[in-house]
A = this chain, B = another copy of it.
Amino acid sequence: MDAIRSRSEPDSITGRSTKEDPMALNAIPTARASHDEYAANQDGEAAPSSSLELHKTTSDMRTTRSRLGLQPQAPIVEEHDLAEQQDWWWAKVRIALREPFAEFFGTMILVLFGDGAVAQVLLSTGQKSAPGGNGFGNYQSINWGWALGVMLGIYVAGDSGAYLNPAITFTNCVLRKLPWRRFPIYLLAQFLGGFVASGIIYGNYIDGINKVEGPGLRTVPPSPTATAGIFCTYPQAFDTTSPQFADEFLASAILMFVIYALKDDSNKGQFSASGAWFPLAMFFLIFGIGACFNFWVPIVAPFCGCLFGGILYDVFLYTGPDSLVNQPWFGLKDLARPKAAILERMEKHQAEGLV
């Protein structure tokens, strides 16, 4: 049971619980899977005499984590969990807040690279003294920055599921059984990570911003010296009259649709994109969205878009029973009996140890 503990977290961006999903366990074995086997063997040998002592994640810890909306058992490898220094108060904090910390730093890395790339390109536009004589990078550099920021952010935030974005977290709560109770603390961690990163970029490039805009001046597009685009998305010049909403919606829908396809091991023939290949595939996905559409930051459209893209995938391509829309009448019947539906869902979550 200890061995399974670190696996009972819904797996990555799809939020599919690995516990009820034998597929995930059959994926290309990663270091983590090996751990579990290692732990399982250890457990098997040592089980009778020590199974009680093994649980250093005390009931105190479990209560704290449950209150935060996290699953009672933190995703931590056996060897580390048993180590002596985990009794220290900070070690306990680190375990209690494991997933929020992961989301915080993952989002921070993502935004550091994304905003950093925009800043460097925008502030050096046309600079003749740069190698190559035309600034430190071009629009392509920005795609690189966001795409590898996502890739590296996923590596940093592996243990929390690496959602890195409220809209993606939201969609997984709706469609992939990620418990709603976990949404607030993930949202908080992601927002803080993004804001801290923006602050760091602002501090690092403040001289450049002052030089381009003039000291103390800050403008937004279409001002020719606008630098606000480092931190937000503004419409392209030719988009001024069209609903910017539609563009964001489209990009978000494509994002979510392809993420679900990448994570769906039941629809990839011989091609594996989950496990070790996932972060690399995400690099190409984000690069593509940057190269072909506008995207990422704004508030409302991504939530609608991600949800739509996720539903589209589940309705037409996903055959697994764990999706909300893979029920008779696409799960809409639950709308007539919301209370019962919520209770059923919570009971199921508790039975699976997710809350």
Asked if A297 CB lies within 8 Å of chain B CBs, one says no
Nearest to A156 among chain B residues (CB) is: B261
Q: Which of A32, A121, A262 has the most CB of B within 10 A?
A: A32
Asked if B275 contacts A279 (CB within 8 A), the reply is no
> Which residues between 1 and 31 of chain A lie within 8 Å of chain B, taking CB atoms?
9, 11-12, 22-24, 26-31
Bound complex: CA of A72 vs CA of B119, how far in Å? 49
Asked if A200 contacts B27 (CB within 8 A), the reply is no
Asked if A69 CB lies within 8 Å of chain B CBs, one says no
Asked if A117 CB lies within 8 Å of chain B CBs, one says yes
Asked if A221 CB lies within 8 Å of chain B CBs, one says yes
- A-to-B contact residues, CB < 8 Å: 9, 11-12, 22-24, 26-35, 37-38, 75-77, 79-81, 83-86, 88, 90-91, 94-95, 101-102, 105, 109, 112-113, 116-145, 148-149, 151-152, 154-156, 158-159, 161-162, 200, 203-204, 206-208, 211-212, 221-222, 224, 229, 236-242, 246-247, 250, 254, 257-258, 261-262, 265-281, 283-285, 287-288, 291-293, 315-317, 319-321, 326-330
Pick the contact of A268: B29, B31, B141, B145 (CB < 8 A).
B31
Bound complex: CA of A12 vs CA of B80, how far in Å? 20
Bound complex: CA of A277 vs CA of B262, how far in Å? 14
Asked if B208 contacts A238 (CB within 8 A), the reply is yes
Bound complex: CA of A74 vs CA of B228, how far in Å? 52
7 contacts between A and B (CB under 8 A): A23-B31, A35-B265, A105-B261, A118-B131, A131-B139, A135-B139, A141-B143
Pick the contact of A236: B79, B124, B156 (CB < 8 A).
B124
Asked if B35 contacts A26 (CB within 8 A), the reply is yes
Nearest 10 interchain pairs by C-beta: A116-B292, A26-B34, A158-B268, A132-B138, A31-B265, A158-B269, A208-B238, A83-B321, A80-B319, A207-B242
Asked if A140 contacts B139 (CB within 8 A), the reply is no
Asked if A117 contacts B291 (CB within 8 A), the reply is yes
Asked if A23 contacts B79 (CB within 8 A), the reply is yes
Q: Which residues of B contact A316 (CB under 8 A)?
A: 94, 101, 105
Asked if B125 contacts A328 (CB within 8 A), the reply is no
Known: A31-B28, A238-B211, A265-B31. A319 touches B77 (CB 8 A): yes
Asked if A291 contacts B120 (CB within 8 A), the reply is yes
Q: Which residues of B contact A291 (CB under 8 A)?
A: 113, 116-117, 120, 137, 141, 144-145, 148
Q: Which residues of B contact A281 (CB under 8 A)?
A: 151-152, 155, 279
Bound complex: CA of A202 vs CA of B138, how far in Å? 26
CB distance from A193 to the nearest CB of B (A): 11
CB distance from A70 to the nearest CB of B (A): 15
CB distance from A163 to the nearest CB of B (A): 11
Asked if A135 contacts B133 (CB within 8 A), the reply is yes
Bound complex: CA of A208 vs CA of B162, how far in Å? 35
Pick the contact of A272: B31, B131, B151 (CB < 8 A).
B31
Bound complex: CA of A116 vs CA of B131, how far in Å? 13
